[in-house]
Amino acid sequence: MALKDLFTKTQTKKKKYATIPTEAAKQDVPEGIMTKCPSCKKIMYTKELMKNEKVCLHCQYHFPMNSGERITSFLDEGSFEEFNENMISKNPLDFPDYLEKLEKDRQKTKLNEAVVTGLGAVGGHKVVVAIMDATFRMGSMGSVVGEKITLAIEKADELSVPFIIFTASGGARMQEGAISLMQMAKTSVALKKFSNRGGLIISIMTHPTTGGVSASFASLGDYNFAEPQSLIGFAGRRVIEQSIREKLPEDFQTAEFLLKHGQLDAIISRLELAEKIANILEIHQPGGEITW
């Protein structure tokens, strides 16, 4: 049987699985004027929620942000200049329907890939940022995501400015197979070179940061931060429970659990993020001091 037939067969089989309702479908309040918090179930004005950086006014639940919202929320106004915005993926494995799926996501998100990179400023400090976007192919990492992140790290090196990455990803991109997995090594090497030359790396993990992304650049910052309640992990809970034949703690793979076990340096609310990161950038300047 040809490899292509195998893929087609797998895809046909997939249709038998039950559909899991999405977060949006679970909310019984229509999107628009009001928004219901999936955590505390309280309803609030969407306008007020947006004004509060998409953080629930009642329970501080952090609603997912796309890359555009992140740029507005985190960077100094008007400071962002995008790199390599037109780079798009090919179909290296000739995976059925991959190009069509990419095209659909491009139209849906108005993005060309699952990461946006560029130069910006935080509290007046110049930085290179890479912002993953979970609305594009679940933020999965294929060849273009790896390449854009690598080029961004090299640009930070060239400009001698810190590199900040926001991660939100389902992991490696299935449709690019081993080429996706190789991005883990590629981005890690670029970070190591940057670090050896004195570069500052700040990783901010957001919900969800999983698979090959959590196992590479997301965890390689000089500072590894996360937003509250983010799911961060490599393999899924069920897979781990089945392999170790043990029940995992309830809060396993949450940012709070990882902080308790030393894998994170801090959990920072989105409402304070820009200010705290600006302070960190400040202390890495000659004569800088920490104020929090």
- Rounded least distance, CB 196 to Zn ion, Å: 43
- Rounded least distance, CB 57 to Zn ion, Å: 8
- Rounded least distance, CB 27 to Zn ion, Å: 12
- Rounded least distance, CB 15 to Zn ion, Å: 35
Site string for Zn ion, 38-77 (x = CB under 5 A): -xx---------------x-xx-x----------------
CA distance 137 to 112: 11
Name the residue nearer to Zn ion (CB basis): 41 or 110. 41
Name the residue nearer to Zn ion (CB basis): 61 or 234. 61
- Rounded least distance, CB 38 to Zn ion, Å: 8
HSE-CB of 189 using CA atoms within 13 angstroms:
8
Name the residue nearer to Zn ion (CB basis): 38 or 124. 38
Residues 6+ apart with CB under 8 A from 118: 80, 81, 82, 83, 128, 129, 152
Task: Tell me the three state secondary structure of residue 106.
Answer: helix
Which of the residues 163 through 202 are near Zn ion (CB under 5 A)? none
Q: Are 151 and 128 in contact (CB under 8 A)?
A: no
Comparing C-alpha atoms, which of 147, 268, 148, 127 is closest to residue 199? 127
Give first-to-last CA distance, the chain, whole Å: 62
Residues 6+ apart with CB under 8 A from 187: 146, 149, 150, 153, 216, 217
At residue 91, φ and ψ (nearest 5 deg) are -120, 75
Stretch that binds Zn ion, among 37-45, 137-145, 211-219, 264-272 (CB under 5 A): 37-45
Site string for Zn ion, 99-128 (x = CB under 5 A): ------------------------------
- Rounded least distance, CB 42 to Zn ion, Å: 5
Name the residue nearer to Zn ion (CB basis): 42 or 108. 42
Binding residues for Zn ion, total number by CB under 5 A:
7
Q: Are 231 and 254 in contact (CB under 8 A)?
A: yes
The reply to whether 271 sits near Zn ion by the rule CB under 5 A is: no
**Interstrand relation of 232-233 and 115-122 (parallel, antiparallel or unpaired):** unpaired
Name the residue nearer to Zn ion (CB basis): 48 or 85. 48
Tokens read off for 225: 């931060």
- The 10 Å Cβ neighbour count of residue 123 is 16
Name the residue nearer to Zn ion (CB basis): 59 or 266. 59
Name the residue nearer to Zn ion (CB basis): 105 or 227. 227
Stretch that binds Zn ion, among 29-37, 74-82, 187-195, 264-272 (CB under 5 A): 29-37
Point out which residues bind Zn ion (CB under 5 A).
Answer: 37, 39-40, 56, 58-59, 61
